[in-house]
Amino acid sequence: MKKVFVDIYLQFNLGDDLFLDILAKRFPNTRFTLNYLGTNYDEFILSYANVNRRKYTFIDKVGQKLKLSDKITNYDQVAEEHDALLFIGGSIFREEDYHPALYKDRVKIVKAFKEKKRSVFVLGANFGPFTSQKFLNEYKAFFALCDDVCFRDYYSVNLFRGLNNIRYAPDIVFQLDTTEYDPIKTTDKVGISIIDVRHKRGLANYYFDYVNSTVLAIEKFTNEGNECCLMSFCEAEGDTTVMKEVYEMLSEKAKKKTSIFEYKGELKQAIRQIASMKMIIAARFHANILGFVLGKGVLPVIYNEKTTNVLKDLEIEDISITFKKIDDQHRNDDLLKSAYSNFPKNLDTIKKESVKHFEELEYLLEPSLKRNSIKVV
């Protein structure tokens, strides 16, 4: 059995958890070790016979604290024990204040794997946002060390055209098998995927406008006879706090027709919620993707260019909202009407192309594996 060391963002973020779910099920005969030391994901990964996390015992902690050992960054040993290194995620290459330390750690682990002649993959990501040429140049050097880099948007691909290991495929979540959810009846329910704009660069000033506008949107939808469902995709990034604030500001009449859903690791429940909607106002990136995959109308709320770039690739960028015009989610009736039928027309092709993310990894791990859709079970 091949062994892959996986670097992934684990904070009970719905999109990233779907990446892990899809990966584990696509390669059932591969052992995946998560680069994660905490215990709060232990129950989640128990669902997968082929997934475990790094072991980090009390003795390891004591040794680390006393500087007697280094279990956290002992990547030479990790590389010795695995056949490949995989970075999988969405916005994992942003220029943030913590970049220098993160970049140094990433280079260290990649070099450890390459010294052992192990393969290195980067799958599912977009590049940026970034502002400095230095940041871009550093990652040109970083990606040059990798065997395969598959981005989810052409904007990112074009930034690294000089490297022959750069590819494109639509977002990994597009390859979900949704047949299980087809029997779910579409109701008069409008979903609202919430984010905390205070966590997004340059958007903190829009916080109160965003909350107030979302309240007004729900009042509008419920007054028109719809139900609404507020969705938090990631508590750690503030979604739940904002969702509850919005709910508490609703009139008593609107509250009676509004439910809340807080994602805490229940993948199928989250997908079922969206499957029952007729339209979703999607601030979270993967609220857009799941809405598209499930054939729902989607009104994207753009908080940075990663969503814009993907919508352009899908040739569906005309219907969306920016935070400068956030009131359009309750004032612009023409836009809202168009959103009910806003989804890619070539969805079948997009789903098939999404599978290409795993082409090179598949060649290493299971070259005879049939490339079918992934089903959440």
Mean pLDDT of 93-107: 95
What was the pLDDT predicted at 18?
97
Quick one: what percent of the chain has pLDDT higher than 70? 93
What was the pLDDT predicted at 59?
43
- pTM value surpassing 0.85: yes
Non-local (6+) Cβ contacts of 350 within 8 A are 170, 174, 314, 344
Write down the mean pLDDT value for the chain. Answer: 92
- Residue-wise pLDDT for 20-51, tens only, equals 999 999 999 999 999 998 899 999 999 999 99
User: Which range, of 143-157, 204-218, 241-255, 361-375, averages the lowest pLDDT?
Assistant: 361-375
pLDDT at 254 over 70: yes
Confirm whether 376 is domain-assigned.
Answer: no
Nearest to 9 by CA among 42, 41, 31: 41
Q: Are residues 143 and 205 in the same domain?
A: no
Confirm whether 355 is domain-assigned.
Answer: no
Q: Strand (E) positions, 23-147? A: 30-34, 51-53, 84-88, 119-125
Query: Could you tell me the CATH number of the domain that includes residue 137?
Result: 3.40.50.2000
What's the angle, vertex CA 34, arms to CA 32 and CA 40, rounded to 5?
Answer: 125
What was the pLDDT predicted at 366?
81
What was the pLDDT predicted at 231?
98
pLDDT at 196 over 80: yes
**Quick one: pLDDT band at residue 377, thresholds 50, 70, 90?**
very low
- Helix (H) / strand (E) element for 166: namely strand 166-168
Task: Show the domain range for 106.
Answer: 2-168
Mean pLDDT of 135-146: 98
Distance CA 255, CA 239 (A): 18
Its sign, for the CA torsion 148, 151, 154, 155, is: negative
Report the Cα 67 to chain-centroid distance in Å.
35
Quick one: what percent of the chain has pLDDT higher than 90? 86
What was the pLDDT predicted at 61?
52
How many domains in the chain? 2
Confirm whether 55 is domain-assigned.
Answer: yes
Query: For residue 356, what are its two tokens?
Result: 């290409």
Q: Are residues 195 and 156 in the same domain?
A: no
Confirm whether 185 is domain-assigned.
Answer: yes
Whether the Cβ atoms of residue 46 and residue 265 lie closer than 8 Å to each other: no
What was the pLDDT predicted at 58?
42
pLDDT at 70 over 70: no
Q: Are residues 164 and 194 in the same domain?
A: no
